[in-house]
Amino acid sequence: MTHELERRAMLFQSAFAMALLSPPARAMTAAVLKRSTIATTRTGRVQGYLDRGIEVFKGIPYGADTATTRFRAPKPAQSWSGVRDATAFGPRAPQPPGHDVRLFDSWPEEQPIGEDCLHLNVWTPAVGRGGKRPVMVWIHGGGYINYSANSVAFDGVNLCRKGDVVVVSMNHRLNLFGFLYLAELGGDAYADSGNAGMLDLVLMLKWVRDNIAEFGGDPDNVMIFGQSGGGAKCATLMAMPSAHGLFHKVISMSGQQLTGSRKSTATANALPVIGHLGLKPGAIGTIDAMPMETLIAVAHYAGYYGPVTDGRTLPRDPFSPDAPPLSADVPMIMGNTHDETRLLIGAADPSLFALDWKLLPAKIAQHVGSYIGDLDPIEIVAFYRKLYPDYSASDVFFAASTAFRSWPGQVIEAERRAAQAAKTGAAKTWVYQLDWKSPADGGKWGAPHALDIPLAFDNVDMSGSMCGTTPAARRMADIVSDMFLAFAHKSDPATPALPQWPTYDLASRNTMLLDLPPRVESDPRGAERRFAQQVHYVQPGT
């Protein structure tokens, strides 16, 4: 896949979470809100509203307007006087338009975009110090390019009511605003430009450390979790010294980050952007004052955005050549869905759902050619037809593209965590695979990318268009959300509904298959894994 195709694929990733939800009742206006308790943060007092007995605070600033720190590390939010209204999301990060492909009935993101985007949201059963509740910090997906936390998709009320936890979500800088590496083109002033969006997340976690007790949360029991790009950001934070100690457990859902971009690669990616802005290397200072809209218009010329292994903010690759020693003592769950690419790729190419055998090799080459190395697509088809004789041509495409494109990063991360555990005795890691299939559109999506989000948040009633509201969907949501809550509380995912779930090791590769009923299997899809591992997997954009 070329850089342009990779960029376009990443643009779709924000759509996957957008596709989760059917429109619920219209949001309450401020005039009819029942006000929450006033909470006192280090920068000022805030008041949100009550939702089904949960106190909700939205749009709390954790950082200053990034227009004042463009391409630089963020600064903490300034203090305010009086009581700040916290009943609405803050601005979304600047991002290209047109990323919200409507696969299902969906609820759009709230609020316009703007550089004053460093705001977070808190759901809590009760404001007040001494609550000591686990804190679940959600990091949104959309690659490193787009989307936001401003969606009912990530509503934390049900998790709070069910599990007595505090839930936090946030917005942070994306695309060129957060990941355009200018250090070698503009000098020391831009030393942090390639990871500014990640430094936003570090600042957010510092806010949680310093303020969450006021919301009934325990700053010494913080779990970060994210899906797709959000999971990749979690993996990156695991290798960042500035984030060390700010979180205590991790769940990565269909999102891995083995390596950052090389400085040379990131510089090469930035050159077309500054060229289209009329700037030259060594003289780029005017980029700081350019209109936001001008920068958005040229963002796509970079081709790829993601963290940069800059030797500074990110001194080493997140999971290469091994799992980060910095996070060896941080328990982790990682997983994927069985049919990732039915949404990741199928969303953009509906013809993939009606393939014939003649066209299949060309479609594999078109969509995942950069992931299959020297393997002939015809050889791939032959392997899958023998392994799964009942599969249609479309089934083979989605199975093969998932195995080569979406699954290898998780396998490698799990293997490296297992090797680390064998060496250090730490690094407890559990691996899952979501096998439960969405009933949407007659089941065509299988168990697609993002299906685990409404299950984890126990939000199937707001996500009926993707996962249905049947007793089976509710049972699946109970299983998955209980698993997440158990991990948040005690750093172990065991629940009464799950069979015994051993940690992942290279001998057994025990994996929890999330289905009805859930079960543990040793090395599921092992034949596919071994076949795909003939090819050396390379993190896109690095």
Is it the case that residue 457 has pLDDT exceeding 60? yes
Q: What pLDDT, on the 0 to 100 scale, is given for residue 542?
A: 81
Q: Reduced to 3 states, what is the DSSP secondary structure of residue 258? A: coil
- Pick from 21-30, 134-143, 254-263: least confident: 21-30
Question: Taking a C-beta distance cutoff of 8 angstroms, is the pair 72, 193 a contact?
Answer: yes
- Pick from 13-17, 155-159, 247-251, 284-288: least confident: 13-17
Q: What pLDDT, on the 0 to 100 scale, is given for residue 256?
A: 94
Average pLDDT on 400-408 reads 97
Instruction: Grade residue 106 by pLDDT with cuts at 50, 70 and 90.
Output: low
Is it the case that residue 12 has pLDDT exceeding 60? no
Q: How many CB atoms lie within 10 A of CB 302?
A: 24
Average pLDDT on 358-375 reads 97
Q: What pLDDT, on the 0 to 100 scale, is given for residue 35?
A: 95
CA-based nearest residue to 240, from 167, 313, 159: 313
State what percent of residues in the chain have pLDDT above 70: 92
Average pLDDT on 488-498 reads 98
**HSE-up of residue 443 (Cα within 13 Å, Cβ side):** 4
**Contact partners, residue 519, CB within 8 Å, separation at least 6:** 499, 512, 513
Is it the case that residue 224 has pLDDT exceeding 80? yes
Give the integer Cα–Cα distance in Å for 103 and 349. Answer: 12
**DSSP letter string, 337-369:** ETTHHHHHTTTT-GGGGG--TTTHHHHHHHHHG
Which domains are present in the chain? Answer: 3-262+304-333 (3.40.50.1820)
Average pLDDT on 278-303 reads 96
Give the pTM: 0.94
Q: What pLDDT, on the 0 to 100 scale, is given for residue 387?
A: 98
Instruction: Grade residue 108 by pLDDT with cuts at 50, 70 and 90.
Output: low
Q: What pLDDT, on the 0 to 100 scale, is given for residue 32?
A: 61
Alpha-carbon distances, residue 272 vs 4, 145, 344 (angstroms): 13, 17, 27
Is it the case that residue 235 has pLDDT exceeding 70? yes
Q: What pLDDT, on the 0 to 100 scale, is given for residue 15?
A: 38
Alpha-carbon distances, residue 57 vs 37, 152, 168, 251 (angstroms): 10, 14, 9, 24
Instruction: Grade residue 397 by pLDDT with cuts at 50, 70 and 90.
Output: very high
Average pLDDT on 45-71 reads 97
Average pLDDT on 34-40 reads 95
- Pick from 1-15, 31-45, 337-351: least confident: 1-15
Is it the case that residue 5 has pLDDT exceeding 70? no
- Pick from 293-302, 333-342, 394-403, 459-468: least confident: 459-468
Q: What pLDDT, on the 0 to 100 scale, is given for residue 193?
A: 98
Q: What pLDDT, on the 0 to 100 scale, is given for residue 427?
A: 87
CA-based nearest residue to 364, from 377, 346, 355: 377
Is it the case that residue 18 has pLDDT exceeding 70? no
Average pLDDT on 6-21 reads 38
Q: What pLDDT, on the 0 to 100 scale, is given for residue 468?
A: 86
Is it the case that residue 327 has pLDDT exceeding 90? yes
Instruction: Grade residue 214 by pLDDT with cuts at 50, 70 and 90.
Output: very high
Residue 186 dihedral angles phi and psi, to the nearest 5°: -130, -5
Q: Which two tokens stand for residue 348?
A: 């953009």
Is it the case that residue 143 has pLDDT exceeding 80? yes
Q: Which two tokens stand for residue 467?
A: 């996962």
**DSSP letter string, 203-233:** HHHHHHHHHGGGGTEEEEEEEEEEETHHHHH
Is it the case that residue 119 has pLDDT exceeding 60? yes
Give the integer Cα–Cα distance in Å for 46 and 478. Answer: 32
- Pick from 11-20, 38-47, 128-137, 471-480: least confident: 11-20
